[in-house]
Structure 1
Amino acid sequence: MRVFSFLLVFFILTFASGQEHARDNTNAVLWQQRSGEYRALCFQAYNYARVSLDKQMKRRTKKPKCIIVDIDETVLDNSPQSGKLLLMGKSFDLAEWKQWTALEGADTVPGACSFLKYAASKKVEVFYVSNRDQSELIPTMNNLNRFGFPYVDTTHMLFRDDTSNKQHRRDLIAETHHIIMLVGDNLSDFSTVFYQDDKDVKIEVDKLATLFGTVYIMLPNPMYGDWEQSLYEKKKNLTENEKAEIRKEKIIAY
């Protein structure tokens, strides 16, 4: 009996050790949902945006002025979806994500709606450039309309087409409008320069330091982001366990 019990425990532990573990995002999700610091940083970002907007309004432009904003973790808070994945022990899954956006239940990022309404009051148009799928357009518009966001229509919503690179969509807007500000939670929401091959992203940020808080308004997002992909050095089809090991290897310690 003791031998059987030992073997049973051995096989359970061996099986469990080989299983794929979902990413533990607990602190990141809780920080976004519960901390005052998160809200303070969001208000700080949008307060800077308002000051910058007022300065930009003093400059004459040939084209009408506009602002480009990302959606996820920039104007809508998706932390409940990340929280559900945590409780389910799952990693990101597109089908689960679309179930969430179909609910039209995301809350606003603090300060986002009031700032964009202020911009609209100054006759500054707002374009929502998002990597949400085209099938998510109507639920997203309903979600934004529930809070009274301005310029929520098919003209001002540019969702992902055949690429996640937003530059083509930004260029289309620039053909008819003067872009005075970009707001996002990823550097790729501002320019492709930050994630071009063989470039040190921190050096690129330093080169454009004066644009942050003026033309580029950055929102905090501890849960996910483009920055993480550079850690994996273009390795494809990594498991969550393999990603976790690589992240540990990249930590700077003494």
Structure 2
Amino acid sequence: MMKFAPVALAAALALAGCAQAQRPAASTPTAVSAPAAAVEAPATAGVAADDNLNAVAWSQRASEHDFIYVQTFRNAQEKILKAKQDPNWDALPRDDRAVHPSLKGLKPAVILDIDETVLDNSPYQARLIRSGGEFNEAAWADWCREAAARALPGAVEFTRFAADHGVAVFYVSNRAKDLDEATLANLRSAGFPVAGKASFLGLGTFVEGCEQAGSEKSCRRQLVAKNYRVLMQFGDQIGDFTSIPGNNDEGRTRAMAPYTAWIGERWFVLPNPTYGSWEPALFDNDYDLPRAERRQKKIEALRIK
């Protein structure tokens, strides 16, 4: 969650109920993939106070970043066939599976977020740094329509391995539904297996009998669950995996507590220091605050002991 395309404050609150989004809609709570880090007037001579520079530079230039992705997808590939053979193996959170509880006869699938999970949108973040701007839906949509995002290391190899072994690949993203053609084109050009339009479940996907809260992905996970046993989920936001009762420290911890044993087995979490629901959780999900006030609240949230 980019993952972003959040739906700003609404998404943040829903989140608070990954997302999703570079401030593209990240998954819900991820989904709150809210706007990219703010850039303010220099705090000291010639130095931007809060421009996301180190986070984006690390994402683009650090070998360690790429190795984490390779490591994650390689680990998943080593385990997926065993998961496929176990008829009781399922990676959906309890609430999502409860809607379609029987696993009998279901085909195997994996669910992956798109932004900062399989596609690298750091060039969009770099543009924000150079311009001094913040995330906005129009510029984000323009970037998505360029269909120029590169595949993240290891992602193509894993998804192709899954597809070659009879595992359906779903991309559940908080990119707006009107970006589906551009997104599918980008995925295909980057080498990802795409079975058809139904492979992409963007923000706004209609799921009969399920009311989506903000940008959370629960309804779309339930849609996949109707016909598939989900072997694994991948994302860079908590909302890519499960719903968050409240986008604060307590709510985020509570959301993940029942599933910590699944990390690295059924749920595979990728790093995203540039945006996500973790950021607005530091300033009460209030994007109406001036940038300087949001930054100050983030500073106050830092641990010094």
User: TM-score surpassing 0.5?
Assistant: yes
Match of 2:192 among 149, 162, 170: 149
The aligned counterpart of 2:117 is 74
CA RMSD of aligned residues (A): 2.1
Give the C-alpha shift of residue 234 in structure 1: 3.8
Alpha carbons 1:104, 1:142 under 8 Å: kept: yes
2:138 corresponds to 1:95 = yes
Q: Using the TM superposition, give the Cα deviation of residue 193 of structure 1 relative to its aligned residue in structure 2, in angstroms.
A: 4.2
> Aligned residue for 2:273?
222
Q: 1:106–1:165: structure 2 CA closer, same or farther, 3 Å change rule?
A: same
Q: Retained in 2: the 8 A contact 1:22–1:240?
A: no
Which residue in 1 is equivalent to 2:284? Answer: 233
Distance 2:148 2:304 in 1: 41
Question: What does 1:39-78 correspond to in 2, within 5 Å?
Answer: 39-60=66-87, 62-78=105-121
Give 5+ residue unaligned stretches, structure 1: 1-15
Given that 1:67 and 1:179 are in contact with CA atoms closer than 8 Å, whether structure 2 keeps it comes out as: yes
Asked if the contact 2:51–2:129 (Cα under 8 Å) also holds between the matched residues in 1, the reply is yes
Give 3-state SS (helix, strand or coil) of 1:155's partner: helix
**Quick check: 1:137–1:159 contact (8 Å CA) kept in 2?**
yes
How many angstroms does 1:128 deviate by? 0.7
Deviation at 1:59, TM superposition (A): 1.5
Aligned-residue offset at 1:22: 8.0
Identity %: 33
Alpha-carbon distance in structure 2 between the residues aligned to 1:45 and 1:194: 27
CA distance in 2, matches of 1:238, 1:250: 16
SS in 2 for 1:183: strand
Distance 1:105 1:47 in 2: 25
Change (3 A) 1:231 1:48: same
Residues 132-188 of structure 1 deviation map (CA, whole Å, 9 limit, x = unaligned) = 011211111111111221125211110001631100010111011111111101010
- Listed as ranges, the gaps of 5+ residues in structure 2 are 1-40, 43-47, 88-103, 205-211
> Which is helix-richer, 1 or 2?
1
Q: Measured at CA, do residues 193 and 200 of structure 1 come closer, stay the same or move farther in structure 2, by a change above 3 Å?
A: closer
User: Residue 35 of structure 1 aligns with which residue?
Assistant: 62
Residue from 170, 178, 190 that aligns with 1:127: 170
- Distance in 2 (alpha carbons) for counterparts of 1:22 and 1:115: 39
* CA distance in structure 1 between the partners assigned to 2:201 and 2:110 by the alignment: 13
